[in-house]
């Protein structure tokens, strides 16, 4: 189960905690959409993600691409080792671009 905590501000931040997989699609999309209202950038903090699979990775890629088409940039930061390893293996930077990472 993935929990999200959003801190609104000039640049909204969405803190992720738990497991990022197919079960979190709708709740994560809703959290990012809410955070993105009126914003140009949304930060996703992956520091609390202990598990991510290809479905979770696909959700991140889709969110980045969907938000970009709406004029909102999504930046991932604080990648946990679990996330960094899977993102590297699946070549996520090639799919969403280096600008989607705030590192």
**H/E run at residue 98:** none
Contact 66, 31 (CB under 8 A): no
Residue range(s) defining the domain that contains residue 65: 2-86
Contact 63, 25 (CB under 8 A): no
Q: What is the pTM of this model?
A: 0.92
Q: Which of 43, 34, 37, 53 is nearest to 12 (CA)?
A: 43
Q: In CATH, what number is assigned to the domain containing residue 79?
A: 3.30.750.24
Q: Is residue 96 part of a domain?
A: no
| Count of the separate structural domains present in the chain | 1
Encode the chain (103 residues) as per-residue pLDDT tens digits.
899 999 998 899 999 999 999 999 999 999 999 999 999 999 999 999 999 999 999 999 999 999 999 999 999 999 989 899 999 999 999 999 999 998 6
């Amino acid at each position: 189960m993935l929990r999200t905590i959003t801190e609104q501000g000039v640049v909204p931040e969405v803190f992720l905690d738990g497991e990022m997989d197919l079960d979190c699609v709708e709740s994560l999309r809703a959290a990012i959409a809410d955070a993105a209202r009126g914003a140009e950038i949304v930060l996703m903090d992956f520091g609390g993600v202990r598990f991510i699979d290809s479905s979770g990775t696909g959700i991140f890629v889709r969110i980045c691409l969907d938000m970009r088409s709406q004029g909102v940039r999504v930046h991932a930061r604080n990648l946990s080792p679990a996330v960094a390893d899977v993102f590297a293996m699946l070549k996520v930077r090639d799919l969403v671009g280096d600008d989607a990472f705030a590192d």
